[in-house]
Structure 1
Amino acid sequence: MGMQGGASVTRITYPSPVVTPYPEDNTVTAYLFLPSGTGPYPAMVVLHEWNPSSTRAGFGLASAAARANVSALVVVEPYSLNRRAKNPKGTAPAILSGNLPEMVGALRQAVLDARRGLDYLSRRPDIDPQRLGVGGISLGGVLSGLVTKVDPRVQATVTLVGGADFARGFWVGLLTRKYRKQILRDGYTYDEFLRAMAPIEANHWPRPIDPANVLMIDGRYDLVILPRGAKALSQALGDTRIVWLNSGHYGASLSAKPAAALTEQFLRARFYGDRAAYHPPDTLPSKTIKLGFLIGGHEGLSPAIAYQVIDFDRAGRYSLDGQLTLHGLSAGLSARLTPTLALGLEFPLFHGDVKPKPYLLAHIVL
């Protein structure tokens, strides 16, 4: 395929260890990133986000690994990209869906495909089989935690906006609400759903993990992978320290550069002993963007977009915001009451009375 970020990229395929009724899904496509030089290199399997329309995020993580002189194999997950079933009878299969047996099977297949990717890497003469790892983004982060727990070859793990206790978050999630309804229509109870999903939960597997071998980066205000899910994965991975972003799930992409830089430092520390340069912070620089409705202030009621210009504390609970409403721009002194509710004082800019007025902002964080 050529070069990307200083690494050579080669497309490979291998048979999935799971055979499904869909031929397209039974061959795994993967993209091998090799750093410049001769090796043998450390290497990691990279798992992407849920049903991406491109490999951009996975390639970004693989490029960060290559800059740390670590090879990376980006594995396309079941029913994603070119592995989507063509003209299936009935509803198209998906890695996440309301078909509970099919979903559990697809998630299990994703883990087995990743482990076969580790097999492939360990057999290459330019890869050191004693220095293998796994990394993932979003759903890929969830799966990476599970691969870490079930495969003793994994010596380093990177998860970006990933978590554990996944089934509980799936059950209450806004994006998966329609799947929950289908699961209930199919006659499963919540407890039956949890039991069915238990094998794909990283926190249900007993293998002990050294927290020094793990980097976790998560969104403090994530409503997709909830913070409690991030904490559950942290506990499963040896109580590793979480590096927080003051963002939600999708806003984490705006922190790609500092996250990539920290990933490079971690991989060099883990695989090359360069520990002096690796000092994980509690919080990475991030952009906090709030979308919601402003109640009170000078508007009475208005849709609003707020950007936290200055954070007065590490967790971004208290901030000076720039706000855009139906009436124009304003500044707000904001104090977070809950992850989705903030109390503040509004100061209009270029419109209305400059006298500050109190408001509530009901919102989600991007």
Structure 2
Amino acid sequence: PVTKEHLKEGGMTLGGLCAAAIEQSDNTAANLLLDAIGGPAGLTNLARNLGDNATRLDRKEPELNSAIPGDERDTTTPGAICSDMQRLLLGDALSEASRRQLEDWLQHNETGEQMIRAGVPNNWIIGDKTGRGSNGATNDIAIMRPPDRAPILLAIYSVGSTATANDREEAIAEAAKIVAETFVSAAQNAAKNTSDYETASHLFDYDAKAPLDIHDTIIEEFDGGTLHDITYTSPKGGPVAAYLVVPKGKGPFAAILFSHWGNGTRAEFVPEAKLYARAGAVSLLPDYPWDRPDPWHKTPNHYDKPELDHEIEIQAVLDVRRGIDLLLARPDVDPERLAYVGHSYGAQWGSILSAVDKRMKTAVLMTGVAETGDIFLRSNDPGIVGLRKSRPPGQFEQYAQVMGDIDAIHFVGHAAPISLLFQFANFEQYFDKTSMEHYAAAATDPKKVLYYDTGHDLNDPQALEDRYGWLAKHIDLGQVPILPGSSPKIRAP
């Protein structure tokens, strides 16, 4: 309907074609756009570059609308399309200006009034794109912006129905209504959770004026600085053992607080901390209560007595938080350049600290889990499955409930203005990608989410390089070679 009107004008801009194809479903405009990007194969290649291995386009309009049962040509999945929308509308696949323009076209769509738009509250801002084809194919995809919450991406596909066109559209509207009501209910629960968060956050109060009672011994000198074996007093009593890595020079230095994974020790990040010492950062690497000798040792995993684990994990967070006091008490540390890096359990601690302690400028959360239940109730890891089967019925449900008030998901939404870098593993064995996406989506901006082809230990060298790049940007580290073959770029901190 649009391109026909412009025939006498001699043509249309690509922007005009995009508007016509999206806002009015102009098939000729869509075909001209396909020609501009290399045809159907070009669009399929774009999908692959977005990480979408499901979507494929084989033909142009109108042939692509045949929707023949069993024919894989010109097909996708709702999940794939939602992932594509996330990368295009909310991710970094497009520039900010291009993201705004694409969403503006979607918001001005004139073909979707009876579908998703009809099913959601009137005060939601909707941008959508509809599709209709043979064999009852009726589709709508949308970015929905409710007031005072993160955007929602929705894709609804229907094919094979013999109902009338109006009935098919009403079915999509009804599905959208169910989704909207779910999120409205979730928002109401979130209001309650805010109250719960305020209560839970006080679990991590402590006496910041208590003496640290630091004992410090240099145990190694290396080319970038010194490695210290230190202890300081836990807010819950007893010594916290930690490594302290100090650069050469007088500073002022950036500071990094490291928290290892549950099966690790304070030694996990020593090589990385030495690297950052060469880049101009003091690093503190404390242990957890279950890593300490008697009488201060506290064994975790009391599945039959979750309140004990609850207290142990609170102490772990407090001990790490006390490490912030230790770092900022040092005269060689710049208090405006403090970062946090946490792996697994350490990521959970970082989510909590980012909410309750605003002295950090940024935090890196490595292979963290959103909720205790994502592992103990929903993990498909053989070891976890076997453990679950070995316990009495209902025990893990009770465990997850008791531990739930200190789950990362309840705190990461209060991190702002602290920036967050999420690093997840594509081959994560303990929890699924839904947990990862739930975790990242709940976090406040500014944030960045990265995935790596590795497991929970996150031993991909690229993850280290990305972590260094993030920290260098946010706490002004010096430039040092990270990976083998990296060109040495060293400047004075």
Q: TM-score range by the shorter chain?
A: 0.5 to 0.7
Aligned-pair RMSD on alpha carbons? 3.0
> Which of 424, 429, 434 matches 1:218?
424
User: Contact conserved, 1:65 with 1:263, CA < 8 A, in 2?
Assistant: no
> Which of 289, 303, 306 matches 1:78?
289
The CA deviation at 1:4 is: 4.8
| Aligned counterparts of 1:64 and 1:163: Cα–Cα separation in 2 | 27
Q: Structure 1 residues 215, 5: closer, same or farther in 2, change over 3 A? A: farther
Q: Structure 1 residues 5, 155: closer, same or farther in 2, change over 3 A? A: farther
The CA deviation at 1:107 is: 1.1
| Bigger fraction of residues in helix | 2
| Bigger fraction of residues in strand | 1
Scaled by the length of structure 1, what TM-score is found?
0.62
| Aligned counterparts of 1:60 and 1:144: Cα–Cα separation in 2 | 20
User: Contact conserved, 1:44 with 1:118, CA < 8 A, in 2?
Assistant: no
| Secondary structure in 2 matching 1:224 | coil
User: Contact conserved, 1:32 with 1:74, CA < 8 A, in 2?
Assistant: yes
Q: Structure 1 residues 208, 134: closer, same or farther in 2, change over 3 A? A: closer
> Which of 251, 254, 257 matches 1:39?
251
The CA deviation at 1:273 is: 8.6
> Which of 284, 295, 300 matches 1:95?
300
User: Contact conserved, 2:354 with 2:415, CA < 8 A, in 1?
Assistant: no
Q: Structure 1 residues 63, 230: closer, same or farther in 2, change over 3 A? A: farther
| Secondary structure in 1 matching 2:290 | coil
The CA deviation at 1:94 is: 2.6
Tell which deviates more after alignment, 197-206 or 167-176: 167-176
Q: Structure 1 residues 247, 11: closer, same or farther in 2, change over 3 A? A: same
Structure 2: gaps (5+ residues): 1-218, 480-493
Q: Confirm or deny that 1:142 pairs with 2:360.
A: no
| Aligned counterparts of 2:318 and 2:346: Cα–Cα separation in 1 | 13
The CA deviation at 1:158 is: 1.2
| Secondary structure in 1 matching 2:289 | coil
Name the residue aligned to 2:234: 16
| Aligned counterparts of 1:84 and 1:171: Cα–Cα separation in 2 | 31
**Where does 1:1-366 land on structure 2 (aligned, <5 Å)?**
1-4=219-222, 6-19=224-237, 26-52=238-264, 55-80=266-291, 83-85=292-294, 93-98=298-303, 99-173=305-379, 174=381, 175-177=383-385, 180=388, 184=392, 188=395, 190=397, 192-205=398-411, 206-210=413-417, 213-238=419-444, 240-250=447-457, 252-253=458-459, 255=460, 257-272=461-476
The CA deviation at 1:188 is: 4.3
Give the AA of the match of 1:126.
D
Scaled by the length of structure 2, what TM-score is found?
0.47
| Aligned counterparts of 1:195 and 1:261: Cα–Cα separation in 2 | 37
Q: Deviations over 1:74-125 (max 9, x none)?
A: 0101111xx0447x9xxx8433442411211111111100110001111111
Q: Deviations over 1:324-343 (max 9, x none)?
A: xxxxxxxxxxxxxxxxxxxx
| Aligned counterparts of 2:453 and 2:396: Cα–Cα separation in 1 | 35
Give the AA of the match of 1:271.
I
| Secondary structure in 2 matching 1:172 | coil
Structure 1: gaps (5+ residues): 20-25, 278-366
Give the AA of the match of 2:338.
L
Give the length in aligned residue pairs.
257
Q: Structure 1 residues 262, 167: closer, same or farther in 2, change over 3 A? A: same
The CA deviation at 1:194 is: 3.3
Name the % identity. Answer: 25
| Aligned counterparts of 1:31 and 1:8: Cα–Cα separation in 2 | 10
User: Contact conserved, 1:42 with 1:71, CA < 8 A, in 2?
Assistant: yes
